Structure 1
Amino acid sequence: LRSISLERVFKAISKALGIQRTTVRAIIHKWRRHGTVVNLPRSGRLPKITPRAQRRLIQEVTKDPTTTSKELQASLASVKVSVHASTIRKRLGKNGLHGRVPRRKPLLSKKNIRACLNFSKTHLDDPQVFWENILWTNETKVELFGRCVSHYVWRKRNTAFQKKNIIPTVKYGGGSVMVWGCFAASGPGRLAVINGTMNSAVYQRILKENVRPSVRELKLKRTWVLQQDNDPKHTSKS
């Protein structure tokens, strides 16, 4: 009878608090046995990274996400905490910080940023048919052997494009092959390899040889628009 009455108590508490009946039973039994409901000490090895050391790790990678696990290991060693680099990575992972390859973005000046923002606001409500009639053009470099060095940053989810988590790239820096290309909503246009130094004369020749053929191949309307950035050789009056 006592067992039945206890089960009724467990059921009533479970319903009132919205938790499982087994959880209620376990908590009450723990209180009766130990006189407390807090987590009791367990057997096994204690963690080598103390809460204070953990805060130090999080502060360092938050301040500089490019800090390596080896550098963090040396930092902890300076306060007499000796742990393996993999232990540091695991502890950061438990706190939502994972090693990721940073996104690469062109290095923009404040003037460029304002111009891009103004362009976006100006054309924010333009209809789709407007965008379908634009020929986008630009030059870029192609690295024949890929990136020479891989970098990682410690970051949390949805923070990939925060300024401290990206590696700025400089246009044309260290490229192997330079190409000019164009595209529209209907597909890619022609691609031209740039030999030697890119200047205003070379740029005009590329436009003359590739723009109109691309417009015909992409079947743009007669009111098509050529879109380019404000690179000096693009705006030269020569």
Structure 2
Amino acid sequence: MPRSKEIQKQMRKRIMELYQSGKGYKAISKALGRQRTTVRAIIHKWRKHGTVENLPRSGRPTKITPRAQRQLIQEVTKDPTTTSKELQASLASVKVSVHDSTIRKRLGKNGLHGRVPRQKPLLSKKNIKARLSFARKHLDDPQDFWDNTLWTDETKVELFGRCVSHYVWRKSNTAFQKKNIIPTVKYGGGNGMVWGCFAASGPGRLAVINGTMNSAVYQNILKENVRPSVCDLKLKRTWVLQQDNDPKHTSKSTSGLTYNHSAKMSGPKFLHSAVEDSWQVIENA
């Protein structure tokens, strides 16, 4: 059961002042905007113990001292990837022995919670500058422009062995049932390249890339998938094709392709478009 919110000492004293001046529970409750049950509990405590201060709490005192708590916070602030097991060992070195779950709870009380880290490309200063320039260039583009932009990109998808933690909820003695296991293959099972696109109205086509990706392969993918995606997504005749400035995308032969009334918007390499977020969904599946 959750612990009730503690009434400040000043408020408790004010309740007692009104009570000692002859006010009843109802009048005090109305005057201070507090529940009548709260007022009654504080007055009852004063009658029984002669004080409105906090009484000594029952139960075993915490093993994590204020000093140990500061140490925990300092360590995870310095290195957020530190595990609770490592923190447990760190406290043990100063003769503080606690379970790692106790450490997680204490950090949680201090607003520090364990989370899966977001993925983000490792960018050079040049990449960062190019991204910022792209954002400023399109800062004032109208909503209609973005609604009719077809975002495209390609990515590598791991077939097996992706480094993501998986959990299953199961009963005892069912660990080896098919539904409770994750299939694995030796050496991770390889990977595959895919091309995909989407617009504000939804996802477009997804194409598997066979063999080495070059300008010719890329152009063939565009020819087979761009126009059908534009039609399926009901983009206007002034729709825009977005792609990064990968050499395969900007070669003369690729640049020569036309798509009837479309414009092209090339972004810097490692442009984090919404396509990247779509790939996260596929890669984590």
- Shorter-chain TM-score bucket reads 0.7 to 0.9
Q: Is 1:133 paired with 2:145?
A: no
Q: 2:123 aligned to 108, 111, 118, which one?
A: 108
Q: Match of 2:135?
A: 120
C-alpha distance in 1 between matches for 2:165 and 2:219: 37
Q: Which residue of 2 aligns with 1:206?
A: 221
- Give the CA deviation at 1:218: 3.8
Match of 1:142 among 150, 157, 163: 157
Residue 11 of structure 1, CA deviation: 6.0
CA distance in 2, matches of 1:84, 1:21: 41
**CA 1:11–1:123: 2 relative to 1, 3 Å:** same
2:224 aligned with 1:224: no
Name whichever structure is richer in strand by fraction.
1
Q: Aligned to 2:191, which of 162, 167, 176?
A: 176
**Cα distance in 2 between the residues matched to 1:26 and 1:220:** 66
Matches within 5 A, 1:1-238: 7-8=22-23, 17-20=32-35, 23=38, 26-27=41-42, 36-145=51-160, 147-150=162-165, 176-237=191-252
Report the Cα distance in structure 2 between the residues aligned to 1:81 and 1:212, rounded to whole angstroms: 65
Of stretches 125-134 and 83-92 in structure 1, the one that deviates more from structure 2 is 125-134
Comparing 86-95 with 36-45, which one deviates more in the overlay? 36-45
**Greater CA drift, 221-230 or 120-129:** 120-129
Q: Tell me whether 141-150 or 40-49 shows the greater mean CA deviation.
A: 141-150
What is the Cα deviation at residue 146 of structure 1?
6.0
Supply the distance in 2 between the matched residues of 1:89 and 1:33 (Cα, whole angstroms).
38
Q: Tell me, which stretches of 5 or more residues in structure 1 are unaligned?
A: 152-173
Point out which structure has higher relative CO (alpha carbons under 8 A, 6+ apart).
Answer: 1
Change (3 A) 1:29 1:223: closer
Partners in 2 of 1:111 and 1:183 — Cα distance?
Answer: 27
Instruction: Give RMSD over aligned pairs.
Output: 3.2
Between the aligned partners of 2:46 and 2:228, the Cα distance in structure 1 is: 83
Superposed displacement of residue 229, structure 1? 0.9
2 CA distance for matches of 1:213 and 1:12?
74
- 1:27-62 Cα offsets, whole Å, 9 max, x none, are 566567656543232332111111111111122122
The secondary structure found in structure 1 opposite 2:114 is: strand
Partner SS state of residue 53, structure 2: coil
Q: Distance in 2 between matches of 1:79 and 1:182?
A: 55
Identical aligned pairs, as a percentage? 86
How far residue 70 of structure 1 moved from its aligned partner, in angstroms, is: 0.5
2:158 and 2:193 map into 1 onto residues whose CA distance is: 9
- 1:53 aligned counterpart, secondary structure: helix
Give 1:5 deviation, angstroms: 7.1
In the alignment, is the contact (CA less than 8 A) between 2:160 and 2:190 conserved in 1?
no
Q: Any idea what the Cα deviations from partners look like across 1:157-196, whole Å, max 9, x if unmatched? A: xxxxxxxxxxxxxxxxx97110111223344333221123
Deviations 1:36-92 (A, max 9, x none): 543232332111111111111122122222111110100100111001111111222
TM-score normalised by the chain length of structure 2? 0.62
Look up the SS of the partner of 1:106 in the other structure.
coil
Paired residues in the alignment total 213
Say whether the 8 Å CA contact 1:192–1:206 is kept in structure 2: yes
- Preserved contact between residue 179 and residue 192 of structure 1 (Cα < 8 Å): yes
Q: 1:217 to 1:29 in 2, by over 3 A?
A: closer
Check 1:139–1:175 CA distance in 2 against 1; reply closer, same or farther (3 A cut): farther
